[in-house]
Amino acid sequence: QLEESGGGSVESGGSLKLTCTATRYTYSKFCMGWFRQAPGKEREVVARFETDGVLTYADSVKGRFTVSRDNANNRMYLQMDNLEPGDSALYFCATDSVFAGGTWSSRCHFDIWGQGTQVTVSS
């Protein structure tokens, strides 16, 4: 119900744009975000829309990554510029079924996940 695409291998300093394609049942303006997991590390947030729709970024990607949305087509994008080897990971998009279903909660619970797309950055 969520599908990521656009991953690949690039050299340090390069760019990639990831796409998260949702359905109208899994797309939300709230509590939807990008996450990543590198081998041997815990999954971490890259950027996420909060319960009020505010977009927040991880400090490690601020100024380099940009999230955009195409609400008409249920898509969310992650533009990644000036990539570094430390950005290498499996990237996921995720959403909250409560918000995707049109209701509201006081907290985000990311319970719908895609299978991920691999990003590899070489030095």
Q: What is the pLDDT of residue 105?
A: 86
Which tokens in the block code for residue 37?
A: 């997991």
pLDDT higher than threshold 90 for residue 104: no
Q: What is the pLDDT of residue 103?
A: 87
Q: How confident is the model at residue 62 (pLDDT cuts 50, 70, 90)?
A: very high
Q: What is the pLDDT of residue 33?
A: 97
CB–CB of 80/34 below 8 Å? no
Q: Which residue has the higher pLDDT, 98 or 4?
A: 4
pLDDT higher than threshold 90 for residue 64: yes
Mean pLDDT value across residues 87-98: 96
